[in-house]
Structure 1
Amino acid sequence: MQIEIRENSNVPIYRQIVNTIYKDIKSGALPPNYKLPTVRELAVEMKIARGTIQHAYDELQKLGVIEMTQGRGTFVLDKTDHELGSKKERAMKAIDALLDEMEELSFSTREIQIFFDLKLREREERYDNVRIALVDCNPEALSLIANQISRIPNVDVYQFLLADVLKKNYPFGKNVDLVITTSTHFAELEKAVVQASKITRIVLTPTQNTVAELAKLACGTRIGVLCASEVFANIIHKSCVMLSGKQPDMDIRLFGQHEDIPAFLSERQVLILPQNYLQFCSQQEEKAIYNFRTEGKQVVSYEYQVDGGSFLYLEEQIEKVKKMKQR
């Protein structure tokens, strides 16, 4: 499989990969059931960040031309088994029409997403699973916590920003079995949720590996932080202050709000990123981070998690709900 990347093109690298593979599948150059290289293999072969390859594969799967199966690999779908055109095109047109109508009603993109989530939950009717609403003040922590809680069997996790919940006063009582938030936000959320008895509080903490990496940073090190929100950037800043006892030489940038990321990184010796940064950065930002790594500079992944005691308590609450649903 030959993929030519044009560095000077205005087309993002991941999109060039998508276009090439899609064209080869449509032309028959890549036949049905053909096994594509793994993300790691293709990244090494093309000397491109794995996140870029993963993004391309995700897009191809959305287009319905490949299928990624954990433990088996990534394969070209058989057109005889999957209608690649009509049904998907009709569905996309229906969604576009509905989105246009909701925009005419002056709903924001975020509000439309919330409405979709709520209506989908109503239709799922998966009573065997425990439905959890996860509420926090920043998207980075929401995603990290959701990934951790999703490992618990038979749970469905839905993420909500605290500001949206307080503004809209969601009726969580009918839609979810548990509402999970941090101790920091418990009191204000308790006033906003209809059935406050369903709220479970947790404590978040950086992992031991993250604490060790931050503790190693020498005084005076020029630190750069890239995040999706100022709230999470402040969490990182506080951790550095607590570990060193001094104000660090730290500069912060937010994904999608600055065009000078390469210049910003060129002045930094260490870069701190949320563990799930690929969910928030653009292709240009991802490339700048990749170049920073290849220059031999240090990148610290800030890993945030539910602490051990909170997680055990949460598992107990989930088990209680499961038993009640089985009666």
Structure 2
Amino acid sequence: MEDASKTVQITIDSDSGIPIWLQLRNRLVYLIGSGHFAVGDKLPTVRELAVDLGINYNTVSKVYQDIERDGYIASYRGRGTFVSDKYLSNAGAADNEADSLVDDFIRQCREFGIPRQDIVSLVERRLREAE
């Protein structure tokens, strides 16, 4: 196991229109999935990351809870937060970053109660508008 000495390569763009918690979540998931943080690596504490990024402690805490629920990390009282291998069982569903983004989009749509067909229609409409 490594300590949290690896540089956390995260930048937050407050002008992007993407919520800060989602930017942080996506970046952490990417860093873990890409191998920057390996299974067993210790992550910075919630407080350290909040200070480093200049964002609210509760935002970082929410992200850590979210990615812990998804199996990317495991927290141990008094020891810290470590990269977990539980997310690997879902790795086949998100082979690359684009798949991961789509998975997140679908999950969020479902959380908002958007029916499957409406999700498909939304994506088709946005693709047409982008062309």
TM range (shorter): 0.5 to 0.7
Which whole-Å CA distance do the structure 2 matches of 1:84 and 1:71 have between them? 27
Matched, 1:22 2:14: no
Any residues of structure 2 matched to 1:72-83 within 5 Å, and which? 72-78=79-85, 83=88
Match of 2:49 in 1: 42
AA paired with 2:66?
Answer: E
- Give the match's secondary structure for 1:75: strand
How many residue pairs align between the two structures? Answer: 86
Shift of 1:10: 1.8
1:83 deviates by 5.0
Q: Which residue of the other structure, out of 53, 71, 77, is the alignment partner of 1:70?
A: 77
* Counterparts of 1:84 and 1:12, CA distance in 2: 28
Q: Contact (CA 8 Å) 1:65, 1:84: kept in 2 or not? A: no
Secondary structure of the residue aligned to 1:42 is helix
SS of the equivalent of 1:11 reads: coil
Unmatched tracts of structure 1, length 5 or more: 87-95, 100-327
Of the candidates 4, 26, 39, which is equivalent to residue 11 of structure 2? 4
Q: Which has the higher helix share?
A: 2
Contact kept, 8 Å, 2:11 with 2:53, in 1: the verdict is no
Instruction: Describe how 1:162-201 pairs up with structure 2 within 5 A.
Output: none
Segments of 5+ residues of structure 2 without an aligned counterpart are: 1-7, 92-109, 114-131
Which of residues 84, 93, 105 in structure 1 aligns to 2:89? 84
Deviation string 1:150-209 (CA, Å, 9 cap, x unpaired) is xxxxxxxxxxxxxxxxxxxxxxxxxxxxxxxxxxxxxxxxxxxxxxxxxxxxxxxxxxxx
Q: Identify if the C-alpha distance between structure 1 residues 19 and 54 changes in structure 2 by more than 3 Å, giving closer, same or farther.
A: same
Q: Is the contact made by 2:71 and 2:85 (CA closer than 8 Å) also made in structure 1?
A: no
Of structures 1 and 2, the one scoring higher in RCO (CA 8 A, sep 6+) is 2
User: Which whole-Å CA distance do the structure 2 matches of 1:46 and 1:83 have between them?
Assistant: 27
Q: Secondary structure at the match of 1:68?
A: strand
Q: CA deviation at 1:77?
A: 0.6
Q: Distance in 2 between matches of 1:20 and 1:83?
A: 17
- The percentage of aligned residue pairs carrying the same residue is 40
Please list, as runs of the form range in 1=range in 2, the aligned pairs for 1:281-320 lying within 5 A after superposition. Answer: none
Greater percentage in strand:
1
Coordinate RMSD, CA, aligned: 2.0
